[in-house]
Amino acid sequence: MPRLVDNKNRKRLVIIGVGANCALGRTWPEAWKGLAAGQGGISHNEDRLPPGRFLSSYGGFVKGFGPVSDDTDERLSRLDARFLHLGLAAAEEAMQVLKGKEFDPERAAVVATSAFGGVDLQDNDRMKAEARGRLQIGPFTVPGLLINQLGGQISQHLGLFGPGFAPSNACASGGHAIITAALLLRADMADMVLCGAAESAFVPSIYNAFYTMKALAAFRSEDRATADPSQASRPFSIDRTGFVMSEGAGMLVMATLEQALKLQVPILAELVGFAVNSDGYHMAAPYQPRIEKCLGGAVADADITPYEVGYYNAHGTSTPVNDATETAAVKAVFGEHARRLPISSIKGAIGHTLGAASAIEAITAIQSLRNGVIVPTINYVPDPALDLDYVPVVARESFPTYALSASFGFGGTNNALVFRRFEDEEMDTRGRH
Amino acid sequence: MKKWTHEDVIDSIRNSGKVKPNTLVTTSSRFEQDLGIDSLDLVGILLDIQDDFGFEWTDREISEINCVQDIIDILNKRSQTNAA
């Protein structure tokens, strides 16, 4: 029987289910397969991003699912906001593991969030009203726009009635949701938590604003992305010009180790440490000193040394400023170990899913620990100023014990999560997965 | 306001996609109890009728609608006012 508390006498927390969708697949196994194979999911799509309405047409899209496709979830037919459809699908996938298991739904919390919520529904309804020449606007605009509606729909359709929160923290939202889940479990407000984030914010007012503020990738005609759109997002590369906006969702089921043992479900990984802090510096720019504090804080919270971290899953947006700042922060926190530490960003493959990114990245870190495979940073062309090991282009076999996944959001908000590989001998259930 | 018939009103409701197939829609059908249409769906249907028939509901009219006949009564009243 494993110990139910850690060395700091805190409840041990484990991940027992995951689900995700992104530009590389509609389910997590599909997406993982693409990530591990070094595939790129970014495309140039003038149907979704028509010129004349959008300043560029590069993006990462979940294909063939949800509003604006033929395959849509009937349960959400009135809420044509894609983040709800993507989020509910990922939540349902993550909860599969609990099928047939008995648990108290009042002790199952939902922490599901997004950076932007149902802006696509809002935009469509606004355009319809304008075309009618009316001020009256569709009755589902408000319910579908709300960020916490994702948790609401998950609760309604999956029957989870515990506490609900929607911590919206820009591009760090998913990680903040995971941390909020951990706090709820440690505060004994729940036995398990469905946590994560979903995003689909392809509306002109957001896409074009990211583009105008030069956060989004922009290309000259001779750029390699023109011939091959899958090369548009290129974290840590010399020719990176900005991030590529994407949609997707990532959901995890986190439980106390005690609850996981009761449920007799396979344990995917343990969340052993985390940190979250605020820059107090700038509305959009990252701030290296506070990012260092956050990374170092998570390592200390995990009660390990930086040398024990064997994989760093990067925020790695492919913007000039993020990738340089993050590299410098990693060097400061990990010292000499930084040069031996495998670092990769999946944003080269799936783009930046904004609020959902850190949830999908946490799932990636967990899967890396389980499979002994570190997924690559694709589209990589070295930048002499950034001289760490970014696991370029091809996946690498490696069996680290600890993986750290970090995310930084506009508004100066950071999180870092440390996961530990769950050892066979600790549980007799792992092999059954 | 366009010319309209009772059938036009019933067709609008039936074609809204909010009524389950094979559900009988009559002038006496109540939205919530008989047709399973909640207040948000009803607002959506009323916005469509307003556009199709070419007029604008007042807030008071919308709040008084519980069954199909209520819509017909309001439209009748409006047609009489227009004619006069």
Please tell me whether residue A329 adopts helix, strand or coil conformation. helix
Residue A132 confidence class, pLDDT cut points 50, 70, 90: confident
Predicted ipTM? 0.79
A100 vs A92: CA distance, rounded Å: 14
What is the average per-residue pLDDT within A66-83?
89
- The minimum CA-CA distance between A328 and chain B, rounded to whole Å, is 52
pLDDT for the residue B78: 87
Q: What confidence tens digit (pLDDT) does each residue in A262-278 have?
A: 999 999 999 999 999 99
Residue A28: is its pLDDT beyond 80? yes
The residue among A72, A74, A78 with the most chain B CBs within 10 A of its CB, best to mutate, is A78
Question: Taking a C-beta distance cutoff of 8 angstroms, is the pair A257, A12 a contact?
Answer: yes
Q: What confidence tens digit (pLDDT) does each residue in A323-335 have?
A: 999 999 999 999 9
Task: Determine contact: B1 vs chain A, CB below 8 A.
Answer: no
A27 vs A63: CA distance, rounded Å: 11
To the query of whether residue A282 is one of the catalytic residues in this protein, the response is no
What is the average per-residue pLDDT within A20-47?
98
The one-character DSSP state at A45 is -
Query: Long-range contacts for B18-26 (Cβ within 8 Å, ≥24 apart)?
Result: B18/B44, B18/B45, B25/B68, B26/B68
The owner of tokens 């000039």 is A320
Angle at A123 between CA A220 and CA A84, to 5 degrees: 95
pLDDT for the residue A1: 81
Distances (CA, A) of A388 to A37, A150, A286, A294: 22, 38, 19, 20
Task: Determine contact: B36 vs chain A, CB below 8 A.
Answer: no
To the query of whether residue A171 is one of the catalytic residues in this protein, the response is yes
Residue A430: is its pLDDT beyond 60? no
Residue B83: is its pLDDT beyond 80? no
Question: Taking a C-beta distance cutoff of 8 angstroms, is the pair A151, A193 a contact?
Answer: no
Q: What confidence tens digit (pLDDT) does each residue in A164-195 have?
A: 999 999 999 999 999 999 999 999 999 999 99
